[in-house]
Structure 1
Amino acid sequence: MTPEPGSPTDSEVSDEAVRGMVAALEPAWSVESIERSPHGTDFVATLDVRTPDGPRTVVLKATTADLVDPPIARSEPRLFELVGRETTIPVPEVFGYRDAHDDFPAPFYLVEHVDGVNLEDDPESLSPPARERVVRDAGRNLVELHELGPLPAVGSVGVARGELTVLDTDDHPRADDFRERLLADAERTLDVLTEGGYFPDLADDPERFADLVEPVRERLRDAIPELSEPDPPTYNHWDYRYGNLLLDPETGETNAVLDWANLSSADPAYNLAKVEFSLLKPVRDDPERTAELRETFRSAYAEGRESWAFDEPTLERMAVYRLTDRLDAMACLPLWYEDATPAERDERAAEHRTFLAERVPGVDS
């Protein structure tokens, strides 16, 4: 992926560059301290700044990796603004953004700092009522997000001519049928699983899942074309997971939903399946607890959308969507668990195999 002219993507961002980016967005502000985040793939820093109205804490984010195309990365601050304006979903206030810059990595933006904990893969640290609050908030938030649609086509949400849109480019083509896009994406994911996933340079065992590829491919080629007609496409925050939430650790209230830089336009049931995959942990929770949390999530969503029902065709689509979600997680394992021990990576891999063995003929756990 080649960076666009005028959008340098150096991974190292100096203090001078940080101050320059802030000055480009808020000339009257001065940066007093910089705390770089060790997490994520792009540059993120928490800044203490002095403004004409007094001190405040803000967050600066700049696209410095090759993982998200600039037309998609540019959507994040605009989506913060749209969601903040049109819904009650908690998102940070935006102070400014630049789509490109001659001197600094871009796009970049400046938003308010929101208090809260990021639990990544540790929801078990929440009390049972707090965890229920997280999934209930998720259901209610997705209602509001989905009702911002429908959108004109299936595809990737990005920016063209300065406006949010469903992109229609060679790199990000639109699709008429979500099922066709889903199968094509799944085929590509299966192809990379034979050589270490999306991040082969980080894979300690590139052939970890290679034996699963053909049985899963056969299953999806049979199942996806037979799915019922998807609902009209709408905004999908498909990466709505603990790692992209800032939570009150005592109550489970969601203080902010983050990572809006890679939304898709898709069947809302796909988003629901993705979030269930991310927020429910059936391998680590017992079946009864998983069922309780799933019911909490679905009830919150159904209560907010009068025209919605978790009917049999929708549930069948969601079951297949969860299977494709699992493939994405398998392909991301080298990145998500880069700092994990070999035993922890093996444990996650075993969870994936158990899931597939229960759903795909020819797969052994």
Structure 2
Amino acid sequence: MSEELDAGTLRRMADLVHPTWTVTAATPVERGFCRVYRLAVEGNGESQECFLKAAPAETEAGVGADARILAVLDRHTSIPVPEVLGVVDDHPEVPSPFYLMTPMPGDELPYERVGWLPDEALETLARDVGVHLGELHRIDAVDSFGYVDRDPTGTLDGGRPSGAVAELTVRDGIDSWPAYLGRYVERELERHADSRFVELTPRIEAWFDERIGRLDGPFTPVLGRNDHGLHNLLVDPDSGSVTAMLDWAYTLAVPPSFDFAFAVYLFGGAFLSALPGVTDRRALVRDAMRTGYRATAPELAETVATGRSAYEALAMVRVMNDFDRLASRLPDGTENDVADGLRADAETVLENDGR
């Protein structure tokens, strides 16, 4: 986590949202790049907990958009998300943007734990993810492709976002999906050229250059979860049920199939399949997700199979790009095996026709 916030600063931040509350304790929570704290507060004779999420220093990190998306999901879907209690988009004296939200039930499991979930629990998790993606993709909120941001005209200074889709916008949206995807791939391959897998970069680039032109349309933009993984869920570790979906700051407007394929790859654990006792369970995850997806978005169910090879390959590239972060969490002595497994998977992708 970036630099910690002192107790006085946290009290001033909470006071901007709930002046009647007194912060009695604050515990930092390790959650990605942002500063997140569990706050114990008292007010009106009651004690309760909430969470404060603030952007790291000198960057917004999508925190304002995150809060608006949570409010939209809370109002328009049954996706389990925290309730946003108030947002401060800009303030001269305390770190901003930030927002307060309610706690949610469930456990946060490490990103890599997906490889060791029992089949039954993983199937339940995947079905729940499919249900929630179906609801997400049915929200009529975007009409171009790109990064989903908050409407800059709707600045808040402690109030709650309305949950209206009008509070969302697509930053510098692009009407053509192949054009947007080409730029996305280009950015990821620039990162890939700086990774330990650089020897594969030229061949992967040529593979995508040929495949993007082959993708079948028409392409309709929807809100895409994008940032999939156990680290952004709360779950019942015994049953696998999803109890909360957190961290929506990197939501993209993409075709449903793109979002679906990324989830299949990351929850299927293919990137860990070189480890002893871990298998590639994409088929199990894909089938369970489709079952859940059909329950909430039957009219979109047939579209999520298109482009699967290209989108799952792109998810693999992103794992390669972030491999150093993953490697620090792997069992001792397995880093090279997992890296070699990813190389072998990439070779398999490069040798097929990508259809």
Please identify, of 295-304 and 236-245, the stretch whose mean Cα deviation from structure 2 is larger: 295-304
The answer to whether residue 120 in structure 2 is matched with residue 121 in structure 1 is no
Identity %: 25
Matches within 5 A, 1:122-271: 122-149=113-140, 151-159=142-150, 160-162=152-154, 164-168=167-171, 173-196=172-195, 208-271=196-259
1:81 equivalent among 71, 80, 101? 71
Q: Is the 8 A contact 1:151 1:232 kept in 2?
A: no
Instruction: Report the Cα offset of residue 342 of structure 1.
Output: 7.4
1:299 equivalent among 291, 304, 317? 291
Q: Is the 8 A contact 1:123 1:242 kept in 2?
A: yes
Aligned to 1:326: 316
Aligned to 1:202: none
Q: Is the 8 A contact 1:186 1:324 kept in 2?
A: yes
Which digits, 9 at most, give the CA deviation of each residue in 1:23-62, with x for residues without a partner?
Answer: 1111111111111123421101111111215111111110
Separation in 2 of the partners of 1:274 and 1:298? Answer: 14
Instruction: Report the Cα offset of residue 329 of structure 1.
Output: 1.6
Instruction: Report the Cα offset of residue 229 of structure 1.
Output: 1.1
Q: Is the 8 A contact 2:221 2:255 kept in 1?
A: yes
The answer to whether residue 41 in structure 2 is matched with residue 49 in structure 1 is yes
Separation in 2 of the partners of 1:317 and 1:161? Answer: 36
Please identify, of 110-119 and 339-348, the stretch whose mean Cα deviation from structure 2 is larger: 339-348
Instruction: Report the Cα offset of residue 261 of structure 1.
Output: 0.9
How many residue pairs get matched? Answer: 334
Counterparts in 2 of 1:150 and 1:56: CA distance versus 1, 3 Å: closer
Instruction: Report the Cα offset of residue 13 of structure 1.
Output: 1.3
The answer to whether residue 66 in structure 2 is matched with residue 63 in structure 1 is no
TM-score (norm 2): 0.87
1:25 equivalent among 17, 20, 25? 17
Instruction: Report the Cα offset of residue 149 of structure 1.
Output: 2.3
Give the 3-state SS of the residue equivalent to 2:206 in structure 1: helix
Give the 3-state SS of the residue equivalent to 1:22 in structure 2: helix
Q: Is the 8 A contact 1:32 1:49 kept in 2?
A: yes
Q: Is the 8 A contact 1:195 1:210 kept in 2?
A: yes
| Structure 2: runs of 5+ lacking an equivalent | 155-165
Separation in 2 of the partners of 1:341 and 1:296? Answer: 28
Separation in 2 of the partners of 1:104 and 1:347? Answer: 45
Q: Which amino acid aligns with 1:58?
A: C
Please identify, of 260-269 and 226-235, the stretch whose mean Cα deviation from structure 2 is larger: 226-235
Instruction: Report the Cα offset of residue 309 of structure 1.
Output: 3.8
Q: Is the 8 A contact 2:261 2:311 kept in 1?
A: yes
Q: What is the RMSD of the two structures over their aligned residues, measured on CA atoms?
A: 2.3
| Structure 1: runs of 5+ lacking an equivalent | 1-8, 197-207
